[in-house]
């Protein structure tokens, strides 16, 4: 039992956040210009060894500021997000196997599938029935949609029960606290994602504490 | 536990058999069913490419809030699709029996053109005994 990845889409069909955990087959880095900045630092092409001196990914200005949620005071300013030890380990261990899809194509396919399935279920049932999840032989995809049109998508082991409650918890907890209430995140901008350090850390903590995560 | 509908989709994504067994779904025209079957065929192909761990089958079970769609893909590419209520646990064995009936009455029928809509009384009869309905 495990959890593979989390995608968040906004109502303009674009992927605004991505996070993965036990993923053995990774997507290739996204083609430049096809994905918004500040979605996940793992999906952009990294500067090569030679020009380390260059600016650290230009796509990140602003989002490195972490604000205290109650007072609004800047509590941390970072140049580069300190990667958690676990993500470093998985990155080095699984770098060899990449899927044939690049990240931007993958995100579009995920969005296309959930949108088509949603329409299929609505059409078939003839009422306002929601699509909840689907399962294949190797993974299960769960969907939670908010009233504001944000879609939370999680991929997990095929044998897990519904994980909708976790997606709801992410929405009610970290998302509201560190994205909606964060003045530095421009939601609905169509220009940048919502990734910031506090949101990533607390989402990570929340998902790692779920019983099916191992 | 209600079985709403059975579809057979050929390997090109065309709907060759569709039959309803219980009320509860929207009343759709045969054209709309054709479109839905084509959509499902496309989704099936995409889902097998989204696997986070390597090769995967296409989608096998789709769940909504009250209904469930179970898809059984045969080795030859024909898909058998059963739409049931969410609580139904019996869809997969039923679909295998439907496949058996299909092999017996459709594939062995010399007047049946492959990949074309199924109009065989015997198949209808076998499905009726399997799933009920008129």
Q: Across the strands, what pairs with B18?
A: B7
For residue A25, how many C-alpha atoms fall within 13 Å in the half-sphere facing its CB? 16
Q: Cα separations (Å) of B15 from A150, B24, B36, B77, B100?
A: 34, 21, 9, 13, 19
End-to-end CA gap in chain B: 18
Q: Are A197 and A76 in contact (CB under 8 A)?
A: yes
Residue with the bigger pLDDT between A92 and B60: it is: B60
> What ipTM was assigned to the predicted interfaces of this complex?
0.90
CA–CA separation, B82 and B85 (whole Å)? 10
Spell out the per-residue pLDDT of chain A, length 214, in tens. Answer: 789 999 999 988 888 999 988 888 888 887 777 778 778 877 777 665 544 444 444 444 444 444 455 555 555 544 454 444 554 444 444 444 677 788 888 899 999 999 999 999 999 988 889 999 999 999 999 999 999 999 999 999 999 888 999 999 999 999 999 999 988 888 877 788 888 889 999 999 998 888 887 7
* pLDDT reported for residue A48: 53
Angle at B40 between CA B69 and CA B58, to 5 degrees: 80
Query: According to DSSP H, which parts of B25-103 are helical?
Result: 30-47, 91-102
Contact residues for A186 (Cβ-Cβ < 8 A; gap 6+): A192
Task: Classify B114 as helix, strand or coil.
Answer: coil
Chain B residue at shortest CA distance from A121: B64
* pLDDT reported for residue B96: 94
Report the CATH architecture of A3-45+58-208: 2-Layer Sandwich (3.30)
Is 3.40.50.720 the CATH number for B3-131? no
61-120 in chain B: CB under 8 A from chain A: 61-67, 69, 83
* pLDDT reported for residue A25: 80
The secondary structure of residue B103, as a DSSP letter, is I
Option in A110, A120, A155 nearest B39 (CB): A120
Q: Are B70 and B5 in contact (CB under 8 A)?
A: no
Chain B residue at shortest CA distance from A6: B52
Token pair of A46 as six digits: 């990294």
CA–CA separation, A206 and A163 (whole Å)? 13
Is residue B6 over pLDDT 60? yes
- Helix A103-125 / helix B30-47 crossing angle, nearest 10 deg: 150
Q: Cα separations (Å) of A38 from A45, A52, A165, A191?
A: 13, 20, 26, 9
* pLDDT reported for residue A58: 43
Is residue B133 over pLDDT 80? no
Query: What are B10-27's pLDDT values in tens digits?
Result: 999 999 999 999 888 888
Token pair of B71 as six digits: 């898809």
CA–CA separation, A151 and A149 (whole Å)? 6
- Binned at pLDDT 50, 70 and 90, residue B1 comes out as confident
Contact A132 B65 (CB under 8 A): yes
**Which one of A15, A19, A117, A133 would you mutate to disrupt binding with B, by most B Cβ within 10 Å of its Cβ?**
A117
Q: Are A29 and A45 in contact (CB under 8 A)?
A: yes
* pLDDT reported for residue A87: 47
Average pLDDT rounded to a whole number, residues B30-51? 93
């Amino acid at each position: 039992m495990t959890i593979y990845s989390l995608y968040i889409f906004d109502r303009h069909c674009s992927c605004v956040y991505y996070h993965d955990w036990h993923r053995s087959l990774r997507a290739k880095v996204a083609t430049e210009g096809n994905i918004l900045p500040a979605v996940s630092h793992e999906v952009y092409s990294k500067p090569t060894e030679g020009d380390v001196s260059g600016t650290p990914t230009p796509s990140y200005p602003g989002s490195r500021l972490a604000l205290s949620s109650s007072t609004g005071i800047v509590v941390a300013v970072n140049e580069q997000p300190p990667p958690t030890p676990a993500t470093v380990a998985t990155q080095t261990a699984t770098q060899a196997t990449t899927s044939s899809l690049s990240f931007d194509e993958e995100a579009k396919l995920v969005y296309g599938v959930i949108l088509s399935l949603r329409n299929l279920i609505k059409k078939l049932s003839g009422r306002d029935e929601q699509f909840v999840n689907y399962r294949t032989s190797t993974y299960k995809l769960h969907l939670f949609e908010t009233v504001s049109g944000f879609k939370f998508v999680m991929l997990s082991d095929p044998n897990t029960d519904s994980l909708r409650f976790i997606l709801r918890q992410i929405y009610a907890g970290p998302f509201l606290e560190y994205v909606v209430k964060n003045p530095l995140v421009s939601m609905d901008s169509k220009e940048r994602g919502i990734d910031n350090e506090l949101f990533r850390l607390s989402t990570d903590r929340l998902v790692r504490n779920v019983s099916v995560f191992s | 536990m209600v079985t709403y509908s059975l579809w057979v989709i050929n390997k090109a994504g065309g709907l060759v058999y569709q039959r309803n067994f219980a009320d509860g779904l929207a009343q759709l025209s045969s054209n709309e069913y054709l479109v839905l079957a084509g959509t499902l065929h496309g989704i099936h192909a995409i889902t097998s490419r989204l696997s986070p761990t390597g090769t995967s089958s296409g989608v096998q079970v789709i769940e909504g809030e009250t209904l469930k769609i179970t898809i059984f893909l045969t080795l030859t590419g024909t898909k058998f699709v059963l739409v049931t209520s969410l609580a139904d646990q019996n869809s997969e064995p039923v679909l295998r029996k439907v496949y058996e009936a299909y092999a017996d009455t459709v594939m062995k029928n010399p007047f049946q053109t492959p990949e074309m809509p199924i109009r065989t009384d015997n198949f209808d009869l076998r499905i009726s005994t399997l799933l009920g309905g008129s």
